[in-house]
Amino acid sequence: MSATPSPAPLRRVPPAGWTALAWCLSTLYSFLVQIRWPGEGLRPWGQKSDQIAPFSMMPREWAMLLFAMALAAAGCVLLALVKAAPATVRAAPAAEAVPAAEAPPAKGAALGSVAALTASALVLTNGPFHTTSVAPEQYLPVCVALGTVAAAVPRRVSLGAVGVSLLGLFGYLGVRVALGLRVGTSVEAVVLMMVAVAWVLGDARRQEHRHARELRDRAAEQAVTAERLRIARELHDMVAHSIGVVAFQSGAAKRVIETQPEAARRALGAIESTSRETLAGLRRMLGALHAAEPAAPPAGLAELAGLVANVGEAGVRVDVQWHGERRPLPPEVDLAAFRLIQESVTNVVKHSAARQCRVTVEYAADGLSVVIVNSGAGHGKGSGTGYGVAGMRDRVELLHGEFAAGPRPEGGYRVAARLPLPTEV
């Protein structure tokens, strides 16, 4: 088995790493725009370079820079905790209940991460760089964290994180207005759009992950259901045939035990051998379900002779006719053909007065045809709606074949199936 391919190099970087990188780049950019470079002419706002004092930082401003760095580091650590939270907490839809013992750490880490990064951006704005408004580049790490949180936690938690970020932003602007300081408007609008876009992209990512998880769960459920149906069909085909033979032989032995002891002994011997074969088959099936080793090869048309002999001991003669060139079949087709014949002749034993039936197996270039016909009057349901007929129909339809079963106009019952074959097998 080949090893799982490793993710692309960029996808190996955790979201906390991208957030830290965004903080470093945005801070570096803010430093660069404050520096007067040699040979600069007019600045964008019309000032000459000699009218601008060289950029410098006082000890207080260095302290605020270190404080902002500590806040950013704390935010990145909390963001890493969000990604490390249990999947049942991070990915649960908003409508689902989250265990109380697990929800607080994930929620607290998400809200704390955004709050710490927002505070870091505001400290940088009011500290080393002395801008009159919140610079969009300072909010870049906040947006990275918001997108990560929106993709990792339920929507109500990510909306709470957006609220924390906006509360910090508008609280800062409110303080500036109360102190009579200048406050920009267009730049804050850009920051709001950045926050909105980050949340929308993150929430879309969360929904995409949830949809993919639902598809995986549905596929797993369908696989389990299909396996249960397969096991149910195998058990039915195996046990129903054996029980039918046992019931017939036991009835025959009961009727002749006093008048024909030898015939009764033969019937009891057939019951014993059939029971042992069924028990061995059940043990093999259960062993294959519990053991890691491969299951035994499935039954096929090669075992048809044994089936004919077994049914013959139950008093029903089976004539088998082969047409076409016999050749190896795909395992699923071989098993389906054998089970169709087994179920049909078992129904003859259990539900029909016929003591003879005819099985025709025809090999064609593109398919295998199986026809089972008996001429006896049926007992009980003759419409072909029982579990056995339904199981036969399911087997054929799973292989994209054709199936028909029903009473014959001249009397008796007919089961016919055609199973498609690849051009070469």
d(CA 201, CA 162): 13
**Model pLDDT for residues 67-79, shown as the tens digit of each residue:** 888 888 888 888 8
DSSP-derived pairing of the beta strands 367-374 and 317-323: unpaired
**Model pLDDT for residues 12-22, shown as the tens digit of each residue:** 667 777 777 88
The average confidence (pLDDT) of the chain is 75
Q: pTM for the whole thing?
A: 0.52
Concatenate the DSSP letters of all residues of 33-67 into one string. Answer: HHS--TT--B-TTS-BGGGSPPP---HHHHHHHHH
For residue 57, the model assigns a pLDDT of: 63
Cβ–Cβ < 8 Å for 199, 150: yes
Residue 380 has pLDDT above 50, yes or no: no
Residue 161 has pLDDT above 70, yes or no: yes
Residue 231 has pLDDT above 50, yes or no: yes
Residue 211 has pLDDT above 80, yes or no: yes
For residue 321, the model assigns a pLDDT of: 93
What domains appear along the chain, each with residue ranges and CATH number?
11-36+51-90+101-184 (no CATH), 302-425 (3.30.565.10)
**Model pLDDT for residues 278-304, shown as the tens digit of each residue:** 777 667 666 656 554 455 556 789 888
Cβ–Cβ < 8 Å for 134, 191: yes
**Model pLDDT for residues 101-146, shown as the tens digit of each residue:** 345 567 788 888 889 888 888 888 776 665 656 777 888 888 888 9
**Model pLDDT for residues 381-411, shown as the tens digit of each residue:** 444 445 578 878 888 888 889 999 988 888 8
At 45, is the pLDDT very low, low, confident or very high (cuts 50, 70, 90)? very low
For residue 415, the model assigns a pLDDT of: 93
For residue 379, the model assigns a pLDDT of: 46
